[in-house]
Chains A and B, each alone.
Chain A
Amino acid sequence: MSTTLPRPETTERPNYLNVDYSWKSWLFTTDHKRIALLYLFSITAFFLVGAVFAGLMRLNLLFPDGLFEHDTYNKFFTMHGVIMVFFFLVPSIPATLGNFLLPIMIGARDLAFPRINLLSWYIYIAGGLFAVLAILKGGVDTGWTFYAPFSTTYSNTHVILAAIGVFVSGFSSILTGLNFIVTVHKMRAPGMTWSRLPLFVWAHYATSLIQVLGTPVVAITIVLLMLERILHAGIFDPNLGGDPVLFQHLFWFYSHPAVYIMILPGMGVVSEIIACYSRKGIFGYGFVAFSSVAIAVLGFMVWGHHLFVAGQSMYASMVFSFISFLVAVPSAIKVFNWTATMYKGSITFDTPMLYALGFIGLFTIGGLTGLFLATMAIDVHLTDTYFVIAHFHYVMVGGMVLAFLGGVHFWFPKMTGRLYPEMWARLAAAIIFVGFNLTFFPQFILGYLGMPRRYATYAQEFQVLHVLSTAGASILGVGYLLPLIYLSWAWRKGERSSQNPWQAKGLEWEQSPTPPPTFNFDVPPVVTERPYNYSEEVEVGGY
């Protein structure tokens, strides 16, 4: 991996990139910024693999009778889901942007446990290798949800390998979360009070809580799954006296909160970008900060909304439905506050802002369609259809991936010391927005019409909408390739960036050189003002 990095000119002042070029200096680094880059390259590789599987799925779905064998298609959607969820979305922003920025934003030299940080990357890679091995040996066909008893008893594919991959990579997530929590508590610079934390940090703090509390549960669930599959322990398989619905409870106890692992960091990124390009502090800072924590807490109590049609007690379903509506409130609060932040601002439309605005729009649609699924009588019709697929892709891709791309552009100068080509970047953002909507909007309609998910073949009447969706996916694919190309180019050849090219607020721009030196600051930072203090107001009282 070290060979892919550019060699900046030697006249540059020392920074974390040019201190050492040896491969050892990368593979044994404890610098959170270098580890962030290791993660960035790794998750990008997994994203490309996951995207190829998505492309193959969309190709198959051009035709009502499919193009590939059923088993092949079933493996495509399973590997797409496993790779994208566990090896891209969960680590996407926290392990890359979070890793890079969280210590700098709070004025720390590094994370609290730099070696554990490196360990988490190795664990992630080890988990990833098991997943890759599962693919190379022929794949898995259980769906990313691994529902029993299909996964424990009936599937003939490499369930164990994939399960080990998910199990192992979970520990990297736990370690990252643990590291962030300790760092935020113990390593804030003088003056960096909790009410001065950037919202990016608040979002990552909430995310870390979920990672630390939720991930062990999925680890246990996977161990039970493996025990059942190898030793026929009789936990989930009714023929052995087990309960298949128990698996769903355990799985979603992690995997629903994990949805918030996959969106909260994106919300943090959007808060930073909106503030910078509106030249204003975030409207209702306290509400936005605590809504992250509220989402993390409430998110642990909604898992049963995945089981409305699974034979769960109707009264239990009712409670889960109600709490699912509750969790919509803090999400809505964020959207309203971002919108209000733009009021009387001084707004520019550079690429990161385009992504942030795209995020708000698509997340709004993704969130509102979530209410359909929280409404029980509607969920009975829509669950396990394309409506669900469209809903969570609006949140995960329209939300998280757009936030990720917005964040990568926003902090690209920070990470590389160079500027990306603005016109290409805006073009790519527009292509991604159009391609995304064309891919996934038709799927809402498909869902209400009754098209079930995970179908290799389908009834003739669904074809038109599927063709539209595949057309959108091809546009989306082009949109993804563009940043990959121009950012790689800009890393070597882009125009050099000043320390603070966007005139943004925040320690990472104002007090840390670009790119940062190994220990982030030349002078130990001191914080004397509220966050996002664009109007240079003197602080009076708290929030």
Chain B
Amino acid sequence: MFPAAASTAAPQVDALYIYLVVLSVVMTTLIFIAIGFFAYKYRRRSPEDPMPRAIHGSLPMEVTWSVIPFLFMLVMFAWGTKLYFENYTPPRNTLDIYVVGKQWMWKVQYPDGQREINELHVPTGRPVKLTLASEDVIHSFYIPAFRLKHDVVPGSYQTFWFQATEPGRYHLFCAEYCGTNHSRMIGWVDVMDPVSYQNWLAGGAAGVSMSQLGEKLFEKYGCITCHVTNRSGPPLDNVFGHPVQLADGRTVLADEPFLRESILNPNAKVVKGYKANVMPVYQGQIDEEGLLQLIVYIKSLSQTHPQARP
């Protein structure tokens, strides 16, 4: 009745689920017993039975059976909302991994440079944050053993975090219908104890890290010319994780979605002191994986770590 439970969220979701199941069973049983009892007790025994007396209703009863169930529902609401905010708000100092969904595979990149397809290796006991991007349609990243999923929406970054507890191999599913091989867009999550994880990381043919790859793209696309060499664009040192003043007076946090938007559509949010329509639009020029590498490179230029945003 329960799938494997392998994350800190799983037992909490299961506990809430059990609360709901127990309430539902009690409720259903009460109604079924009432119907069964009335059906038997008040069955018409002969066609000559007199017409029953009319009962028009009762305000106290209406109030009772509206308010009491609603109080139980308020508990569901409060409990479910609290858990949802916890499960969807990443803590600080996470281990960051980057995932790109495309028809019909999951491509995983680690900051150190390891890459996998349809496999995700994570250690126990440490919060892991995935940045999810899609190359094409909407997908949904779903790990039943963690009781968590999040849609992967093209044109944006979505955040997915968890802390694994039990080493093992668990299903990874695409949960949002995405075309022909939707049901083959599946893989495995390998949860390892921290030592095995370190061994796995060391054993992987890492070589070039994501930020090194990003640095190469930074040169290839000519970002370096304006942002470093001639300084006609805003400098990028110590930008990530800090507030940025915009030309229109607003202040925004320089997080992954902001960097993404500023690369693909630089005119959407222009930094104070700089002009629009100077930087070329990179929409459609860089694939999602390259974009993530660029962003990891820009992150590496910053001392502080990203602030978690609810």
Q: Which residues of A contact B (CB under 8 A)?
A: 66, 70-71, 74, 141, 143, 147, 149-150, 153-155, 238-239, 241-245, 278-281, 283-287, 308-311, 314, 317-318, 321-322, 325, 328-329, 332-333, 335-337, 339-340, 342-349, 357, 360-361, 364-365, 368-369, 371-372, 374-381, 383-385, 445, 448-450, 452-459, 533-537, 543
Closest A residue to B148 by beta carbon equals A380
- Bound together, the chains give a CA A287 to CA B62 distance in angstroms of 8
Of the residues B27, B150, B265, contact of A309 by C-beta under 8 Å = B150
Closest B residue to A142 by beta carbon equals B177
Interface residues of B in 37-56 (CB under 8 A from A): 38-39, 42-44, 49-56
Beyond contacts A322-B77, A536-B51: 7 other A-B pairs, Cβ-Cβ < 8 A, are A238-B155, A279-B52, A317-B84, A332-B66, A380-B13, A384-B142, A452-B174
Of the residues B39, B80, B175, contact of A349 by C-beta under 8 Å = B39
Of the residues B44, B57, B88, B283, contact of A348 by C-beta under 8 Å = B44
Closest B residue to A375 by beta carbon equals B80
Binds A, one of B67-75, B233-241, B294-302: B67-75
- Bound together, the chains give a CA A451 to CA B124 distance in angstroms of 24
- Chain A nearest CB from B51 CB (Å) reads 5
Known contacts: A279-B52, A329-B66, A333-B66. The answer to whether A74 contacts B180 by CB under 8 A is yes
Of the residues B35, B74, B265, B283, contact of A360 by C-beta under 8 Å = B35
Q: Please tell me if the beta carbons of B181 and A70 are within 8 angstroms of each other in the complex.
A: yes
- Bound together, the chains give a CA A313 to CA B80 distance in angstroms of 16
The answer to whether B58 has its CB under 8 Å from any CB of chain A is: yes
Known contacts: A322-B77, A335-B31, A377-B87. The answer to whether A449 contacts B144 by CB under 8 A is yes
8 A-B pairs with least C-beta separation: A238-B155, A450-B144, A375-B80, A377-B83, A284-B57, A376-B84, A455-B183, A342-B38
Q: Please tell me if the beta carbons of B13 and A377 are within 8 angstroms of each other in the complex.
A: yes
Of the residues A70, A321, A368, A543, contact of B183 by C-beta under 8 Å = A70
Q: Please tell me if the beta carbons of A381 and B177 are within 8 angstroms of each other in the complex.
A: no
Some 7 contacts from A to B, beta carbons below 8 A apart, are A244-B155, A283-B56, A311-B158, A347-B38, A374-B76, A384-B176, A453-B177
Q: Provide the residues of chain A in CB contact with B70, threshold 8 Å.
A: 325, 329
Q: Please tell me if the beta carbons of A380 and B56 are within 8 angstroms of each other in the complex.
A: no
Q: Please tell me if the beta carbons of A155 and B84 are within 8 angstroms of each other in the complex.
A: no
- Chain A nearest CB from B180 CB (Å) reads 5
Q: Please tell me if the beta carbons of A459 and B56 are within 8 angstroms of each other in the complex.
A: no
Q: Provide the residues of chain B in CB contact with A325, threshold 8 Å.
A: 70, 73-74, 76-77
- Bound together, the chains give a CA A141 to CA B84 distance in angstroms of 32
The answer to whether B140 has its CB under 8 Å from any CB of chain A is: yes
Q: Please tell me if the beta carbons of B179 and A141 are within 8 angstroms of each other in the complex.
A: yes
Q: Please tell me if the beta carbons of B34 and A339 are within 8 angstroms of each other in the complex.
A: yes
Q: Provide the residues of chain B in CB contact with A242, threshold 8 Å.
A: 155
Of the residues B3, B35, B43, contact of A449 by C-beta under 8 Å = B3
Q: Please tell me if the beta carbons of A378 and B51 are within 8 angstroms of each other in the complex.
A: no
- Bound together, the chains give a CA A260 to CA B149 distance in angstroms of 28
- Bound together, the chains give a CA A311 to CA B35 distance in angstroms of 43
Closest B residue to A152 by beta carbon equals B137
- Bound together, the chains give a CA A150 to CA B82 distance in angstroms of 33
- Chain B nearest CB from A71 CB (Å) reads 5
- Bound together, the chains give a CA A386 to CA B201 distance in angstroms of 36
Q: Please tell me if the beta carbons of A339 and B35 are within 8 angstroms of each other in the complex.
A: yes
- Bound together, the chains give a CA A342 to CA B33 distance in angstroms of 12
Known contacts: A310-B153, A346-B49, A346-B51. The answer to whether A380 contacts B20 by CB under 8 A is no
Residue of A335, A347, A537 with most chain B CB atoms under a 10 A cut-off:
A347
Q: Please tell me if the beta carbons of B39 and A357 are within 8 angstroms of each other in the complex.
A: yes
- Bound together, the chains give a CA A147 to CA B79 distance in angstroms of 31
Q: Please tell me if the beta carbons of A308 and B84 are within 8 angstroms of each other in the complex.
A: yes
Of the residues A74, A448, A534, contact of B182 by C-beta under 8 Å = A74
Closest B residue to A381 by beta carbon equals B147
- Bound together, the chains give a CA A351 to CA B183 distance in angstroms of 42
- Bound together, the chains give a CA A287 to CA B13 distance in angstroms of 35
The answer to whether B151 has its CB under 8 Å from any CB of chain A is: yes
The answer to whether B279 has its CB under 8 Å from any CB of chain A is: no
The answer to whether B205 has its CB under 8 Å from any CB of chain A is: no
Q: Provide the residues of chain B in CB contact with A308, threshold 8 Å.
A: 84
Q: Provide the residues of chain B in CB contact with A149, threshold 8 Å.
A: 136-138, 154
Q: Please tell me if the beta carbons of B148 and A280 are within 8 angstroms of each other in the complex.
A: no
Known contacts: A287-B62, A328-B73. The answer to whether A371 contacts B24 by CB under 8 A is yes
The answer to whether B274 has its CB under 8 Å from any CB of chain A is: no
Q: Please tell me if the beta carbons of B176 and A380 are within 8 angstroms of each other in the complex.
A: no
Closest B residue to A280 by beta carbon equals B52
The answer to whether B207 has its CB under 8 Å from any CB of chain A is: no
Q: Provide the residues of chain A in CB contact with B28, threshold 8 Å.
A: 361, 364-365, 368
The answer to whether B81 has its CB under 8 Å from any CB of chain A is: yes
- Chain B nearest CB from A486 CB (Å) reads 25
Q: Please tell me if the beta carbons of A147 and B138 are within 8 angstroms of each other in the complex.
A: yes
Known contacts: A71-B180, A284-B57, A381-B148. The answer to whether A239 contacts B52 by CB under 8 A is no
Q: Please tell me if the beta carbons of A372 and B84 are within 8 angstroms of each other in the complex.
A: no
Q: Please tell me if the beta carbons of B84 and A455 are within 8 angstroms of each other in the complex.
A: no
Interface residues of B in 85-142 (CB under 8 A from A): 85, 87-89, 103, 136-138, 140, 142
- Bound together, the chains give a CA A280 to CA B55 distance in angstroms of 8
Q: Provide the residues of chain B in CB contact with A328, threshold 8 Å.
A: 69, 73
- Chain A nearest CB from B229 CB (Å) reads 31
Q: Please tell me if the beta carbons of A318 and B81 are within 8 angstroms of each other in the complex.
A: yes
Q: Please tell me if the beta carbons of A378 and B183 are within 8 angstroms of each other in the complex.
A: no
Q: Please tell me if the beta carbons of B35 and A457 are within 8 angstroms of each other in the complex.
A: no
Q: Please tell me if the beta carbons of B150 and A445 are within 8 angstroms of each other in the complex.
A: no
- Bound together, the chains give a CA A445 to CA B144 distance in angstroms of 13
Q: Please tell me if the beta carbons of A279 and B51 are within 8 angstroms of each other in the complex.
A: yes
Q: Provide the residues of chain B in CB contact with A279, threshold 8 Å.
A: 44, 51-52
Q: Provide the residues of chain A in CB contact with B181, threshold 8 Å.
A: 70
- Bound together, the chains give a CA A365 to CA B29 distance in angstroms of 10
- Chain B nearest CB from A497 CB (Å) reads 17
Q: Please tell me if the beta carbons of A336 and B65 are within 8 angstroms of each other in the complex.
A: yes
- Chain A nearest CB from B29 CB (Å) reads 10
- Bound together, the chains give a CA A482 to CA B38 distance in angstroms of 29
Q: Please tell me if the beta carbons of B138 and A244 are within 8 angstroms of each other in the complex.
A: yes
Q: Provide the residues of chain A in CB contact with B73, threshold 8 Å.
A: 325, 328-329, 371
Q: Please tell me if the beta carbons of A342 and B39 are within 8 angstroms of each other in the complex.
A: yes
Q: What is the 8 Å Cβ interface bit string for chain B, positions 1-42, against chain A (1 contact, 0 not)?
A: 111000000001100110010011001100110110011001
- Bound together, the chains give a CA A459 to CA B79 distance in angstroms of 32
The answer to whether B244 has its CB under 8 Å from any CB of chain A is: no
- Bound together, the chains give a CA A345 to CA B171 distance in angstroms of 53
Closest A residue to B136 by beta carbon equals A154
Q: Please tell me if the beta carbons of B38 and A376 are within 8 angstroms of each other in the complex.
A: no
- Bound together, the chains give a CA A345 to CA B51 distance in angstroms of 8
- Bound together, the chains give a CA A302 to CA B181 distance in angstroms of 32
Closest A residue to B35 by beta carbon equals A339
Closest B residue to A532 by beta carbon equals B54
Q: Please tell me if the beta carbons of A245 and B153 are within 8 angstroms of each other in the complex.
A: yes
- Chain B nearest CB from A243 CB (Å) reads 7
The answer to whether B284 has its CB under 8 Å from any CB of chain A is: yes
The answer to whether B61 has its CB under 8 Å from any CB of chain A is: yes
- Bound together, the chains give a CA A141 to CA B89 distance in angstroms of 35
Q: Please tell me if the beta carbons of A368 and B184 are within 8 angstroms of each other in the complex.
A: no
Q: Please tell me if the beta carbons of B151 and A310 are within 8 angstroms of each other in the complex.
A: yes
The answer to whether B310 has its CB under 8 Å from any CB of chain A is: yes
- Bound together, the chains give a CA A320 to CA B80 distance in angstroms of 13
Q: Please tell me if the beta carbons of B51 and A311 are within 8 angstroms of each other in the complex.
A: no
- Bound together, the chains give a CA A332 to CA B66 distance in angstroms of 7
Known contacts: A335-B31, A342-B38. The answer to whether A375 contacts B16 by CB under 8 A is yes
Of the residues A150, A375, A380, contact of B138 by C-beta under 8 Å = A150
Q: Please tell me if the beta carbons of A347 and B155 are within 8 angstroms of each other in the complex.
A: no
Q: Provide the residues of chain B in CB contact with A332, threshold 8 Å.
A: 65-66, 69
